[in-house]
Chains A and B, each alone.
Chain A
Amino acid sequence: MIGAIASLAWRNIWRNWRRTVITSLSIAFGTAAFLFVQSYLDGINAGFRENLVNGEAGHVRVAAREYFRLERVLPKEHLVQDADGLERDLAFIPAVRHVTGRLKLRLMLGRDGRNEPCVAIGVDPNGEKYFLGLQGKMKQGRYLDGDGAPQGDAAQGVGTAADMIVGDRLAVRLGLRVGDAILAVTSDLNSGTYGLEFKVKGIFATGVRAVDGNVLCIPLTRAQELLDCPGAVHEILLLGDDPDDAPKLAAAVEKVLARRHSSQAVLGSVRQDPLDAVPLQEHWMARYMVLAEKIMNIIVVLLMLVVATVISNTMRMSIMERTHETVVIQSLGMRDRAFRLLILNEAFFIGVLGAGLGCLVGAGLSLLAQHVGFDVSPMLESMDSPVPFMSTVLRPRLLFLFVVEAFVFGLFFAVAAAVRPAFKATAPMPAVALASELHVR
């Protein structure tokens, strides 16, 4: 009997094809909107997270406890001593895939009477390829190679320019081009003023305004020379397999730190501030992102309600306008249960058509936007302070899961919206039905 009803329902929906198309389109619109918004919000979130992991937090970050507390002001004196030794020890942890050390310092750049304050990151160019990944974001020139140390007169260390790569916005402010020499001055750990000359090897563009406008990268050894802290870094970043496993990785790193701390205490070696291993999830931005995700979920739920209302109304109208037809079918002997099943089957077919079409449209739009991206730089330009980790080009991220979710969502509301009208339609008042001006076609 179910097969016969399904067959009848399929024929029924094409008797009035305009009504079916209009109803399906409303479901398609809702489903497409739901899918697009889902992928858009997820894209923003994923972009934030990727920028946070690569640019700032890794999966786990090791630094002095005081450094974590004061990191927003870039405290230069809280260091990880013997960074090479610690990195070697950390690389032995099975879950660790990549390790790199960084030294961050404020610099004053000077060229042709122009000065710009900026933040310099002293990096190991090879190790940093897995983190900042600037080798793939070079707009002009080339990425740092080797240890970035100058060739030739390097041993003398004076008057030989090391390489530097700068963000494109910073380069514009200083009128810098590849090959230009620039003087960088900082205050070292001993409150002295120290400067070195650098040569611009490349100009990068990450799309993150805060980075491109304020950050430059120099070889770690040169950053250590500027700050007068040979062998030390401010932080060591680690990448594991999965960011969600970062807390477990942090626990393993803590064990290594404790072991090293006790052996250093025994040997009485270099004085070291207490070190902490902090997983990605404890970064202040990650905490903010949890809140942002909640807000995004609320937006999605509100959107679902709006779309569900549109679908329900359309379905309900399409059933209620068939009161006359309902009475005729019932008068021909169709039982209530079978009739309800017929209505729900019709809703199911319309739902499949609408949700399917919606998924196609929504996925198409998402893929197109993912490819092209939304340039939000004009909006960000008008903001006083740049949003850290936010790219100027936002891209949705389409997952198959979202397509399935959107399809189920569209179909569910199409069928659910038909339940009440189906029950109502089986108990019509004969006078109302006969008075209906609608006719069976």
Chain B
Amino acid sequence: MKRITCLISALGLMAVAFAERTESPDVILERLERNLSFQTAYFSGETIITNKSRVATKAFFAYLEGRENFFLEYVSPARDRGMRLLRQGGDLLLYLPSARKVLKIKKGRQQRRLESDFSLDDIAEMSGSLRGRFSAELLGDETVDGRPCRLLRLVALEPGQTYAVRLLWVGKETAVSLRCQYFTRSNKLAKELAASDIRQSGRRFFAGRFVMTDCLRKNSRTEIVLKEMAFDVPLPSGIFDEKNLKPAEAE
């Protein structure tokens, strides 16, 4: 009986090891995206933008619905308070309290919009699906901040993608993207995103801190620290409605 138990255990371990070794890139991406899939979500936190000697801290809250709808509002500092950002499909709407007007920014004009190291495209893609847009190749296993990771190389299938190639380190245990390097078409490293402060909510793992470094600019980095996070929560009604983007008092 003891022998049979040992044999079954050994076979089990071998099966797990085999399964782990043969986990396909698509399966890794699927796990990664399953972690990010939610009906609705709420976040609040701070963006800390460092540009040479200047450091700017901005507090915000945001609502997400699926992968398409995204709403963000700045609450501080005073100059930025009340600025709202609504992403619907490909287009982006920006409510500017200083002008009391809404600016619609077409897709393709969004790459340089935010003066942080995140472009709007970067933000949109953080919750976007990678499968179907990139071909993935498993390069091997590595460790990031002491966490074992799968290293994937993603190559854009269509020329319109912001970054042609990405290297993605996905945590083996958490299925969270712990590091991502973005490369230009000329294979130059453009940006690097590092995620840390991994938290768990139910079966879902997520990062509470992101640092984006623009490798083409000196002394420039943007840190997003999420303070509150809630998934699949009820959202204020009409929050993604373009008509509600402009506050009533601005009418």
Contacts and interface: CB of A to CB of B under 8 A. Distances in A.
B113 A194 contact: no
Interface string A257-290: 0000000000000000000000000000000000
A190 B51 CA distance: 9
Contact of B109 (A108, A183, A187): A108
B100 A193 contact: no
A108 B114 contact: no
B56 A192 contact: yes
B114 A187 contact: yes
B41 to A, nearest CB: 23
A117 B116 contact: no
Contacts of A185: 94, 96, 103
A365 to B, nearest CB: 48
Contacts of A114: 106
Nearest to B101: A183
Interface in B57-92: 58, 77, 79-80, 83
Contacts of A401: none
Contact of A228 (B52, B79, B83): B79
A193 B96 CA distance: 8
A191 B115 contact: yes
Contact of B99 (A115, A159, A187, A192): A159
A194 B109 contact: no
A110 interface: yes
B3 interface: no
B99 A195 contact: yes
A410 to B, nearest CB: 56
A431 interface: no
Contacts of B147: none
A22 B18 CA distance: 99
B22 interface: no
Contacts of B77: 190, 192
Nearest to A157: B98
A228 B100 CA distance: 18
Nearest to B103: A110
Contacts of B98: 158, 194-196
Interface string A80-119: 0000000000000000000000000000101001110100
B114 A195 contact: no
B54 interface: yes
Chain B: interface size category: 20 to 34
Contacts of B54: 77, 189-191
Nearest to A114: B106
B211 interface: no
Interface string B100-122: 11011110010011111000000
A325 interface: no
Contacts of A254: none
Contacts of A188: 79, 115
B180 interface: no
Given A108-B103, A115-B105, A77 B96 contact: no
B49 interface: yes
A228 B80 CA distance: 11
A197 interface: yes
Interface in A175-224: 183, 185, 187-197
Nearest to A186: B115
Most chain-B CB neighbours within 10 Å: which of A159, A187, A192, A196?
A192
B116 A191 contact: yes
Given A108-B109, A185-B94, A185-B103, A190 B83 contact: no
A193 B80 contact: yes
B60 to A, nearest CB: 12
Contact of B58 (A117, A192, A194, A197): A192
A192 B101 CA distance: 16
A77 B112 CA distance: 17
Contacts of A159: 99-100
Nearest to A112: B104
A156 to B, nearest CB: 11
Given A108-B105, A183-B96, A193 B113 contact: yes
A190 B83 CA distance: 15
Contacts of B115: 187-188, 191-193
Contact of B105 (A110, A158, A187, A190): A110
Contacts of B114: 187, 193
B57 to A, nearest CB: 10
Nearest to B80: A192
A319 to B, nearest CB: 67
Most chain-B CB neighbours within 10 Å: which of A113, A188, A191, A192?
A191
Interface of A: 77, 108, 110, 113-115, 117, 158-159, 183, 185, 187-197, 228
27 contacts: A77-B51, A108-B103, A108-B113, A110-B105, A113-B106, A115-B104, A115-B105, A115-B106, A115-B109, A158-B98, A159-B99, A183-B101, A185-B94, A187-B114, A188-B79, A191-B56, A192-B79, A192-B80, A192-B115, A193-B94, A193-B96, A193-B113, A193-B115, A195-B94, A195-B101, A195-B103, A197-B100
Given A158-B100, A187-B114, 11 more contacts: A115-B103, A158-B99, A159-B100, A190-B56, A190-B79, A191-B51, A191-B116, A192-B83, A193-B96, A193-B115, A197-B101
Query: Sorted from nearest, which 8 A-B pairs have the closest CB atoms?
Result: A187-B115, A195-B96, A110-B103, A191-B49, A190-B56, A191-B115, A197-B99, A195-B99
